[in-house]
């Protein structure tokens, strides 16, 4: 019998996932490291509570009206079949939602909207629509890497645009080199931004439209968190004059409606881009289950759900940033999302020094059983997520008090 190692299968893996080295690489990736550190910390402190600020998804169920709609729709024979590129009701609901929540009234639901099985696969498909070998995708970093990964898989190149604090965590489009501008076909933006929590102003988006036009680039604005804004109205790239001529925006029901596992999103904007997406999508999947799309219609028609969710994250983020500010961190309320992105300290008094955010994050897990996500792409920061689990309001306060107690024992140096 051949062992898994000398099986011919191992030699057949494509280079894009590591070739013959697939599964054998020694390098451990960030999220795997976090998982391992969590397991080790829990094993070292049996029965202790881990405060999990590391998760990137809502801690609660979808709202009852959405769940009930699914329960009813799942019984109906007309919903049983392939949904292909989506049902008309969902496209119309998406257009209504853009109008009601974002004031965007220019989207034709016949030709300018299509659904996706979550925004992740939509982002994964974009390079298939536009990227030939040698073409460039401009990606903001730190950020959600999916469109960059698939760009490389199609033989394209990724040019990273760093998001720096001094620039409001916006990319400096003027600094994109001439060669990259010439070869770039796609520009990935994500505002409000994961992980920085930064929002983008209308003035920035106007600049983006101009940049895209001048350089013949398609803008893909990932609006996964767009509805989760604190203190200002949700804002859509599509509301900027000319946006529809240069790109699309991807909206997800995952975060705004507590529907991560349901897998539902939509992309709206330029008709030709949507047509290309429809073609590629048709070759990948046969659409999200119609009953889920109909539950999605209910969600999109009830944006008040998002207002309740936003109020909870805002309350939590204010408390979390308050604790961090008291300890000397430069923690500011984000414009949106559910993330708090703070510069790491150099070390703790009379103790550990941290060479990078990964080390600091590992320290918090192993010493304090507090889980966070480190980012070392453009400066060293850690991300605290307000989606930690709690059993109601009183328990939420207990978790926050416990966070304060554990962090309070440390004197940070910056
Ligand atoms: C910036 C960003 N885009 C897209 C996604 C994927 O969301 P979806 O559940 O719609 O696939 C996430 C999920 O964490 C995200 O953070």
Average pLDDT on 355-362 reads: 95
Q: Is the CB of 145 under 6 A from ligand 1?
A: no
Return the best residue to mutate from 121, 226, 255, 387 for the ligand 1 pocket (most ligand atoms within 8 A of CB). 255
Q: What is the pLDDT of residue 2?
A: 53
Share of the chain above pLDDT 90, in %: 93
Q: What is the pLDDT of residue 180?
A: 98
Q: Tell me what the pLDDT averaged over the chain comes to.
A: 96
Q: What is the pLDDT of residue 137?
A: 98
Angle between helices 30-44 and 357-368 (to 10 degrees): 20
The closest residue, in CA terms, to atom 3 on ligand 1 is 224
**Spatial CA neighbour of 192 closest among 144, 247, 259:** 144
Q: Is the CB of 265 under 6 A from ligand 1?
A: yes
pTM, two decimal places: 0.96
pLDDT bin (cut points 50, 70, 90) of residue 25 is confident
Q: Is the CB of 255 under 6 A from ligand 1?
A: no
What end-to-end distance do the CA atoms of the chain give, in Å? 58
In angstroms, what is the span from residue 337 Cα to ligand 1's centroid? Answer: 11
* Ligand 1, atom nearest to 123 Cα: 4
In angstroms, what is the span from residue 145 Cα to ligand 1's centroid? Answer: 10
* Ligand 1, atom nearest to 264 Cα: 10
- Residues 310, 377, 18: CA angle, nearest 5 degrees: 105
**Spatial CA neighbour of 269 closest among 135, 147, 94, 86:** 94
Q: Is the pLDDT of residue 67 over 90?
A: yes
In angstroms, what is the span from residue 45 Cα to ligand 1's centroid? Answer: 33
In angstroms, what is the span from residue 373 Cα to ligand 1's centroid? Answer: 16
Q: What is the pLDDT of residue 5?
A: 60
Q: Is the pLDDT of residue 243 over 90?
A: yes
Extended beta strands in 244-358, E state: 247-252, 265-269, 339-343, 347-348
User: In 84-227, where does DSSP find H-type helix?
Assistant: 88-102, 119-130, 146-153, 178-183, 202-215
Q: Is the CB of 260 under 6 A from ligand 1?
A: yes
Q: Is the CB of 249 under 6 A from ligand 1?
A: no
Sole residue written with tokens 């803008």: 219
The closest residue, in CA terms, to atom 12 on ligand 1 is 224
Q: Is the CB of 194 under 6 A from ligand 1?
A: yes
Q: Is the pLDDT of residue 195 over 70?
A: yes
Q: Is the pLDDT of residue 1 over 60?
A: no
Q: Is the pLDDT of residue 124 over 90?
A: yes
pLDDT bin (cut points 50, 70, 90) of residue 4 is low
The closest residue, in CA terms, to atom 14 on ligand 1 is 56
Strand partners, 137: 158, 186
Q: What is the pLDDT of residue 31?
A: 83
Distances (CA, A) of 96 to 70, 113, 254: 20, 11, 18
**Spatial CA neighbour of 299 closest among 354, 332, 258, 356:** 258
Q: Is the CB of 361 under 6 A from ligand 1?
A: no
């Amino acid at each position: 019998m051949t062992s898994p190692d000398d099986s011919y299968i191992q030699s057949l893996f494509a280079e894009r996932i590591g070739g013959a080295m697939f599964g054998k690489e020694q390098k451990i990736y960030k999220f795997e490291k976090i998982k391992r550190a969590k397991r080790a910390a829990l094993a070292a402190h049996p029965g202790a509570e881990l405060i999990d600020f590391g998760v990137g998804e809502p801690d609660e169920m979808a709202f009852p009206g959405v769940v009930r709609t699914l329960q009813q729709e799942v019984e109906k024979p007309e919903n049983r079949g392939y949904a292909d590129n989506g049902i008309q009701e969902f496209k119309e609901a998406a257009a209504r939602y853009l109008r009601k929540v974002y004031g965007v009234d220019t989207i034709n639901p016949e030709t300018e909207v299509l659904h996706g099985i979550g925004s992740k696969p939509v982002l994964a498909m974009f390079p298939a629509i536009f990227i030939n070998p040698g073409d460039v995708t401009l990606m903001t970093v730190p950020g959600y890497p999916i469109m960059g990964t698939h760009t490389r898989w199609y033989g394209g190149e990724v040019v990273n645009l760093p998001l720096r604090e001094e620039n409001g965590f916006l990319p400096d489009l003027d600094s994109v080199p001439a060669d990259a501008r010439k070869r770039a076909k796609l520009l990935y933006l994500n505002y409000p931004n994961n992980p920085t929590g930064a929002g983008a102003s209308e003035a920035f988006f106007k600049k983006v439209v101009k940049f895209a036009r001048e350089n013949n680039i398609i803008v893909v604005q990932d609006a996964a968190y767009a509805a989760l804004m604190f203190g200002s109205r949700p804002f859509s790239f599509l509301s900027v004059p000319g946006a529809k001529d240069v790109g699309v925006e991807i909206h997800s029901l995952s975060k705004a409606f507590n529907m991560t596992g349901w897998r539902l999103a939509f992309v709206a904007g330029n008709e030709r881009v949507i047509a290309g997406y429809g073609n590629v999508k048709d070759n990948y999947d046969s659409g999200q289950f119609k009953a889920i799309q109909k539950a999605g219609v209910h969600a999109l028609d009830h944006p008040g759900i998002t207002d309740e969710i936003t109020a909870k994250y805002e309350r939590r983020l204010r408390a979390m940033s308050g604790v961090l500010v008291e300890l000397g961190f430069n923690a500011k309320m984000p414009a949106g999302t559910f993330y708090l992105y703070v510069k790491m300290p150099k070390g703790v008094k009379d103790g550990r020094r941290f060479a990078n955010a990964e080390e600091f994050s590992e320290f918090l897990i192993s010493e304090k059983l507090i889980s966070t996500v480190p980012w070392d792409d453009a400066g060293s920061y850690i991300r605290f997520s307000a989606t930690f689990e709690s059993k109601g309001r009183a328990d939420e306060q207990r978790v926050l008090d416990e966070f304060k107690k554990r962090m309070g024992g440390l004197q940070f140096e910056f």
